[in-house]
Structure 1
Amino acid sequence: MQKKNNILKVMIICFSTAAMSEDFYVAQSGSDRANGLSINASGVNGPFKTLIRAQQAIRDLKKNGKLKEPVTIHIQTGIYQLQKTLEFDIRDSGFSGKEVRWQGENGPVVISGGIALQNCSQSDDGIWYCPTSDGPLDKVKYLQSYRKRGNAPGFELFINQQPMHLARWPNNDWAHIKLPLDERTNFTSIETLPTLDSGYSNAQVHIMAGNDWHDQYIGVAYIDRGANKIALESNTNYPLTSGRRYYLQNIRSELDAPREWFFDKSNNKIIFIAPDNIQPTEITASSLQNLLTIKGANYITFDSLTFQYSTDVAISLDNTSNILFNKIEASNIGGRAVEAKNSNNFSIQNSHIYHTGDGGILVSGGNRTTLAPANNLVHNNFIHDFGRVVMTYTPAVEAAGVGSKITNNLIEHSPGAGILLFGNDHLVEKNEIHHVCEQASDCGAIYSGRDWTYRGNIIRYNSIHDLFGYGMKNVDIANNKVTYIKPDGVRGVYLDDSVSGFSVIGNIFNNAGVMAIQLAGGRDNIIENNIISSNDYALWVDSRIPGAEIKKRLLEVPTESPIWIEKYPKLKLPRHNENWPEGNSLRRNIMISRGMNNLLLRYTMPEYGNVISNNIVWSETGSLIVSYNILDRLKQRDKASWFEWISEGIERDSMFANPCVSITGNKINFCAESPIKLIGFEPIPTDIGLIK
């Protein structure tokens, strides 16, 4: 009897273990005729071959009412070449406690939208030719948008997983507008235009038409080399301005440098010059617009998967909840790596994103009417070398809506911004950001702007360092000279165009641009407990007239509702002067000038409603300059000394003293004699940046 009881117990344990989860398997050695229930093939038993078949197995499980426990699809190592986008919807959902998990195992699991080019050959002059007559590349359309117009190929080329560039002129750096011939379509060039032996019918211009912070692509209508003139097929988004940057691309006769390529559509060939010192062993063209789309689905996890070679957004989500991406790698993507729109409880963590054409991750969700949070999370990701196609306003992370968290990410090496914030109650905490805005001026490592109602956002305990920027200094049309400089025009935290209600607390700024923090006319912002070591300005506060757009946005959310009044009471306080930055607190900051010009602080603001106090300032050269315009006192000085500024009585209980601090990486160390206790400076956490 005892033996029978033991056998029964074993049977119960085995049954319970089996009931804990349903398991399916996918392997490249498998078959879609198998049942998918085993990793080892034996007759009908064995793994599926494709992800589509595994997806259908989940749908059948739900349809038959058998989704009783969590389900895991174990995907074995290999490259899974997609013939079409993986499209997920409500049929692919799990439930709370019955999640569906797609798990990569036993090595890299690559989900690819690329086409491997075959039968390529190299000519005597070093140019490679790959036939495309057997592929669908001529049907891949170029995705037209506000920022991208023209007749370029709809796909990209990658050699040994390195992104290539369409044949261009000039090969390096930029050419420059000499004179606009009208507002937005015709201009002459400072540099002498090349002779285009193959014509310009497919040519594009990549241009920053009127500033250093907005780039776009436009088709070329014609080129008049005699007049050194370019005519565009459509208007630039901003008026053309002398000295601004552009280059031409997608021109066969300009295929003359390593890493360049051209699609000869009429002859069904891709032509390229390989990167220096590289023998092409992997020649891939992206082909699918998206790799994975998820609409209206819930409770799904994707773990340890690699996504490569989409022409636009790799992973696109809309109206989802409780979706998790963990240990994802996304690279060689034409657009963003991930877009999670109108989604809640979305999370991407411990992932690696790089070589994206636009940005990294976008999350939006929550409800700006009720201020219900999305609870989206972007955590512990390494995001770098993004914005390689559209360079500006394509950040590593963009958050919109209400209540997302961006924490412990490492963001580096980009021509444009690091993080963009739109909406309310977002938390940006413990991130490390450096070497962004490398091709832009008037750019922020962390940026938000143009709305009085974007309140409750917290930027806390981040390390922002080594920002340089790049922008036009002057143009001499008569002598065909234009000068661009670095460093120029980048900010660490950029609160632009009257944005209000932000808290910037406990951050480390070390060589973080021409302004570590710019408060551009905003209201009710808290700038406290930061440490700033700068060659330029630590704090820059200015006053500006809010435009009609800002006032209109004030009416687009229910600021009169009890929810908004309770959460943001300052929003309803009377504005003494709506053109002035009021209600701001600049307290307990440590600001060190390392620059020879000693320009550390600039204030254009009223005394009324603002608090400046309990700061420590220091200059390594022994002197320090403050420029100020106190609007309601009619007190204005340019380049006053610190002691002249303090004598005005506007800033209180602050001191000029050596804080005795060293900054090493993301950590700060104060000596025992530091006066920081006198201002109530609070410790900054040491766990900033990636969690290993």
Structure 2
Amino acid sequence: MSKHRVAAGALAAVALAAGLVVSGTAEAAAACTFYVSASGSDGNAGTSPDRPWATLERARDHIRQHGLNKDMRADLRVCLRGGRHTRTATFNLAEADSGSNGFKVVYQAYPGETPIIDGGKAVTGWKRVTDRPYFVADVPESAGYADYFRQLYVGGRRAQLAMGKAIVGSGFFDEASIPNPPANPERPTRSYDGVQFPAAGVPAYTNVRDIRLLHIAIGFKIDYFPVVDISASGANKRVRLAQPHFQARLNRDDGFSLDYDDTFYVLNAFEELDSPGEWYLNRATNKVYYHPRAGEDVNQAGAYVPVVETLVNVAGSSPSAKASAIAFDGITFEHGNWLLPRDRFIGGSQAEAQYADDPFKDPNHDGYGGEVPGQIKLTNTRGITFTNNTVRKMGSGGLQLLTGAEDVTVTGNLFHNLTAAGVIAGRWMDVHVDGARRTRNVTISNNVVTDIGDDFFPATGISLMNTYNVAVTHNLVHDTAYMGFHQRKAEEHSLLDGADGIGKTTFSHNEVYNATSKVSWGVHDSGAVYSFGSWPGSVVSHNHVHHSTSTANYYSDNQSHQTRWDYNVGQGGRFDFSPRYRQPLSVYASHNYTDFADNWLGGAIYDGDGRPHVVTDGAWPAEARTIMNQAGLEPAYAGLRWKVPRENLADHSTVSQRSAWNSDLGKLWDGVTDTAEASSNVNESWVQFDLGADYEQFAFTIQQDNCCTWMTTHWKVQRWSAGQNAWIDIMPYQAINTTAPVVYRPPADLATTNIRLYVRNSNQNGKVGVQEFSATGVRK
């Protein structure tokens, strides 16, 4: 081998480790054993880039049939060429597809190309509905569309399911003609068929069976109920909900998390299709409707809906016959479906733990009976690696490690635009399994997890249930609906110590922000970093939590046992060590820092340097600043931070300075236009955004509502000019006198790394407020 070739190979290895794209050199291409292309043919040889196979199954079966993965002497690499590899069914791998002799069977991107394993289908032929602002397209099952889906993606963005305004019920009701379920012998039950509302809040909806009722209560119980019927009853409308789900949920053990005077929203009603970016599915007619955003052409932007549920399933046949030594590298997975909400309710949950159909048959008697699924599943596996991949635009979660998944490495991936957590590890029901069936020995490091839970408000970033020896380190987790990191075991009071038990989680050196993003919807009883129950031997250390919208940055909750919380920094939120602790107290903490004065500290022993240090006026000591600087992605993976496309350049991730805004500044990006505003106690305020790179082709959108007296009368945007060493107006102050979104596009193109929004109130009280602000642009 020539010296030149050695140098090129070394350079490629360094670039891959840094998360960079390597060009398709001859040397890199030669590493491929087989080739798969969306434009290939399964009749080809599959052994050269210009004669690829068409399907992953052809590659899998060829390896299996010829025994190529037996007694291996090198990795077998199946290289996927760029483009969409459209799936109509799950890609399955079993123990027969394992690597051997310390080598792996690798499914990877062809060097320099981006293959997409796509479980969805494009929606085309959109037509404008006469005299209406929305478009319609056909999605019949006969053409390959799923009979049910909860997502529509337009231009890569998740559209909002048509939604009504918040309504509050006036009572439960029991239909005399509908038999009540059998009484629960263990305790009294409530027997109702649905919720009634004042008639003015519930229009005359058509296609009722496709409607879902979103319920939010006590800060963390969120439900999505299928609607069976809506009928008039005097001054009320009765919304009948599907059984047995409503009955089971109504009578869950706490007895107070579902009541008629909670907050409800109607989802997927044609009559609520009234705002840009909303969509509606009519399953009776197999038609989908979409209300385009300002300036958007839905046919040009491209629209997709999910079809296939579970894109990849790696499963050994038993704990003693595991699928092993398989790797996925550099592949994009998108548009996976989730069919369970078609026929039953989802929710009643904490994070990704799902409420059971019949909780009284649940052997743990806690109401939970499973988890939100992931789209890449591992069951009875050993030595699986998942690196440099992108998992996005999913109708459920991302990567799910189920029963018997062990020795798993998850590094350098992007998980974004998902319904549920990027990584879900452990089964809720796997409490008393033996070691071979425990989800254990897992490394989750240097991943970006973001934009989680827009259509499932209990969603988290990384979620553990009944696992052992999981290390979650140096990840960047942000913009998640409910929590950034969550761990909860099925039996609150059990210990299950030892190698076959539950615990020994390491959560360290992670950066977590805006990890409780649905607070503005009433989802507030949470923590950015959260642990519930006994997880002996677990350590939470050297993490940086900031820009959290919930008051709890770090939350050690019920029955916590034998854990440590050390060297953590929390900005804008408290340390919450719950007094609902196990006796004798065995939660320890030291060297923690916060700028939140009202911390809840009854549930921990403060050894070392004592209780969390409360910092004022941003005077963080050297130790705290070191923790902040070392948290998050390591240098080799730092480029991943900007790889996820951001719908709004002006959000939590880019705020760097501000003037006199109050603590509700996060409402500038909450997506809610009927509750409250971000506000300031002076009549002119600004907020600065550092975009991380030069952007151009800007568009700025501002919106306010009539909820408050602090109305903006004028707004402008500035950019930083390094050449002039000054802030320069992109636009002069513009008057605003409407509650509709107002869009400004600069008449001349420009590029900048920093922008400022200025707002002014010329009329009211010397104060000013804004409902929503967004900035879009193209990276230069």
With normalisation by structure 1, the TM-score equals 0.68
Aligned pair partner of 2:140 in 133, 138, 163: 133
Contact 2:561/2:587 (<8 A) preserved: no
Aligned mates of 2:593, 2:169 — CA distance in 1: 38
Report 1:581-600 matches (<5 A).
584-589=605-610, 591-593=612-614
Give the match for residue 580 of structure 2.
Answer: 520
Aligned mates of 1:334, 1:154 — CA distance in 2: 8
Give the aligned CA root-mean-square deviation in angstroms: 3.1
The yes-or-no answer on 1:292 pairing with 2:312 is: yes
Give the match for residue 443 of structure 1.
Answer: 526
Aligned mates of 1:399, 1:351 — CA distance in 2: 21
What amino acid is the match of 1:465?
H
Q: 1:133 to 1:29 in 2, by over 3 A?
A: closer
Gaps of 5+ in 1: 1-16, 41-45, 141-152, 470-489, 543-580, 595-618, 621-658, 670-682
Does the residue aligned with 2:58 lie in a helix, a strand or coil?
helix
Aligned mates of 1:189, 1:213 — CA distance in 2: 22
The number of residues matched between the two structures is 513
Report 1:331-350 matches (<5 A).
331-341=392-402, 342-350=404-412
The yes-or-no answer on 1:268 pairing with 2:347 is: no
Contact 1:339/1:361 (<8 A) preserved: yes
Contact 2:450/2:479 (<8 A) preserved: yes
Aligned mates of 1:591, 1:87 — CA distance in 2: 49
Displacement after TM superposition at 1:178 (Å): 4.4
Aligned pair partner of 1:661 in 605, 620, 623: 620
Aligned mates of 2:469, 2:198 — CA distance in 1: 48
Aligned pair partner of 2:330 in 291, 298, 304: 304
Report 1:556-595 matches (<5 A).
584-589=605-610, 591-593=612-614
Aligned pair partner of 1:86 in 81, 88, 91: 91
Displacement after TM superposition at 1:111 (Å): 0.4
Displacement after TM superposition at 1:329 (Å): 0.6
Does the residue aligned with 1:276 lie in a helix, a strand or coil?
coil
Does the residue aligned with 2:545 lie in a helix, a strand or coil?
strand
With 343-352 and 585-594 compared, the bigger mean Cα shift is at 585-594
The yes-or-no answer on 1:162 pairing with 2:157 is: yes
Aligned pair partner of 1:35 in 45, 49, 57: 45
Contact 1:384/1:396 (<8 A) preserved: no
Report 1:368-517 matches (<5 A).
374-392=440-458, 394-421=460-487, 422=489, 423-439=502-518, 440-451=523-534, 454-469=535-550, 490-513=551-574, 515-517=575-577
Does the residue aligned with 2:200 lie in a helix, a strand or coil?
coil
Give the match for residue 269 of structure 2.
Answer: 251
Give the match for residue 632 of structure 2.
Answer: 689
Q: 1:331 to 1:205 in 2, by over 3 A?
A: same
Q: 1:121 to 1:329 in 2, by over 3 A?
A: same
Report 1:349-360 matches (<5 A).
349-360=411-422
Displacement after TM superposition at 1:433 (Å): 1.0
Q: 1:347 to 1:190 in 2, by over 3 A?
A: farther
With 335-344 and 418-427 compared, the bigger mean Cα shift is at 418-427
Aligned mates of 2:450, 2:312 — CA distance in 1: 22
Displacement after TM superposition at 1:493 (Å): 2.1
Q: 1:465-495 deviations in whole A, cap 9, x for unaligned?
A: 22223xxxxxxxxxxxxxxxxxxxx422222
Aligned mates of 1:299, 1:64 — CA distance in 2: 10
Contact 2:590/2:606 (<8 A) preserved: no
Report 1:96-135 matches (<5 A).
96-105=101-110, 106-124=112-130, 125-133=132-140, 135=142
Does the residue aligned with 2:466 lie in a helix, a strand or coil?
strand
What amino acid is the match of 1:403?
N
Does the residue aligned with 1:169 lie in a helix, a strand or coil?
coil
Contact 2:311/2:336 (<8 A) preserved: yes
Aligned mates of 1:27, 1:393 — CA distance in 2: 35
Displacement after TM superposition at 1:444 (Å): 1.6
Displacement after TM superposition at 1:540 (Å): 2.4
Aligned mates of 1:202, 1:373 — CA distance in 2: 37
What amino acid is the match of 2:53?
F
Displacement after TM superposition at 1:63 (Å): 6.7
What amino acid is the match of 1:131?
D
Q: 1:525-563 deviations in whole A, cap 9, x for unaligned?
A: 343333322334234215xxxxxxxxxxxxxxxxxxxxx
CA radius of gyration, larger in: 1
Contact 1:326/1:348 (<8 A) preserved: yes
Aligned mates of 1:134, 1:228 — CA distance in 2: 33
Displacement after TM superposition at 1:338 (Å): 0.8
Aligned mates of 2:140, 2:162 — CA distance in 1: 21
Does the residue aligned with 2:528 lie in a helix, a strand or coil?
strand
Displacement after TM superposition at 1:117 (Å): 1.8
Displacement after TM superposition at 1:211 (Å): 1.7
Displacement after TM superposition at 1:155 (Å): 4.8
Displacement after TM superposition at 1:121 (Å): 1.7
What amino acid is the match of 2:544?
S
Displacement after TM superposition at 1:38 (Å): 1.1
Displacement after TM superposition at 1:334 (Å): 0.8
Does the residue aligned with 1:418 lie in a helix, a strand or coil?
strand
Give the match for residue 363 of structure 1.
Answer: 425
Does the residue aligned with 1:338 lie in a helix, a strand or coil?
strand
The yes-or-no answer on 1:212 pairing with 2:219 is: yes
Give the match for residue 566 of structure 1.
Answer: none
What amino acid is the match of 1:202?
D
Q: In percent, how many aligned pairs have the same letter?
A: 18
What amino acid is the match of 2:139?
T
What amino acid is the match of 1:163?
R
Q: 1:471-521 deviations in whole A, cap 9, x for unaligned?
A: xxxxxxxxxxxxxxxxxxx422222112211111111112124x4544532
Aligned mates of 2:434, 2:540 — CA distance in 1: 23
Aligned mates of 1:591, 1:21 — CA distance in 2: 52
Report 1:608-647 matches (<5 A).
none
Does the residue aligned with 1:54 lie in a helix, a strand or coil?
helix
Aligned mates of 1:186, 1:134 — CA distance in 2: 31
Displacement after TM superposition at 1:307 (Å): 0.3
The yes-or-no answer on 1:232 pairing with 2:188 is: no
Give the match for residue 599 of structure 2.
Answer: 538
Contact 2:135/2:289 (<8 A) preserved: yes
Contact 2:544/2:627 (<8 A) preserved: no
Contact 1:137/1:155 (<8 A) preserved: no
Aligned pair partner of 2:36 in 19, 26, 31: 26
Contact 1:457/1:501 (<8 A) preserved: yes
Contact 2:558/2:578 (<8 A) preserved: no
Q: 1:52 to 1:368 in 2, by over 3 A?
A: closer
Displacement after TM superposition at 1:585 (Å): 3.9
Displacement after TM superposition at 1:273 (Å): 1.4
Aligned mates of 1:401, 1:67 — CA distance in 2: 32
Contact 1:220/1:232 (<8 A) preserved: yes
Give the match for residue 77 of structure 2.
Answer: 72
Aligned mates of 1:496, 1:223 — CA distance in 2: 40
Give the match for residue 55 of structure 1.
Answer: 60
Aligned mates of 1:176, 1:534 — CA distance in 2: 36
Aligned mates of 1:403, 1:387 — CA distance in 2: 27
Aligned mates of 1:690, 1:178 — CA distance in 2: 49
Q: 1:613-655 deviations in whole A, cap 9, x for unaligned?
A: xxxxxx67xxxxxxxxxxxxxxxxxxxxxxxxxxxxxxxxxxx
Aligned mates of 2:101, 2:455 — CA distance in 1: 40
Contact 2:222/2:458 (<8 A) preserved: yes
Aligned mates of 2:152, 2:220 — CA distance in 1: 27
What amino acid is the match of 1:468?
T
What amino acid is the match of 1:27?
S
Give the match for residue 616 of structure 1.
Answer: none
Give the match for residue 175 of structure 1.
Answer: 167
The yes-or-no answer on 1:193 pairing with 2:254 is: no
What amino acid is the match of 2:336?
S
Contact 1:117/1:284 (<8 A) preserved: yes
Q: 1:662 to 1:191 in 2, by over 3 A?
A: farther
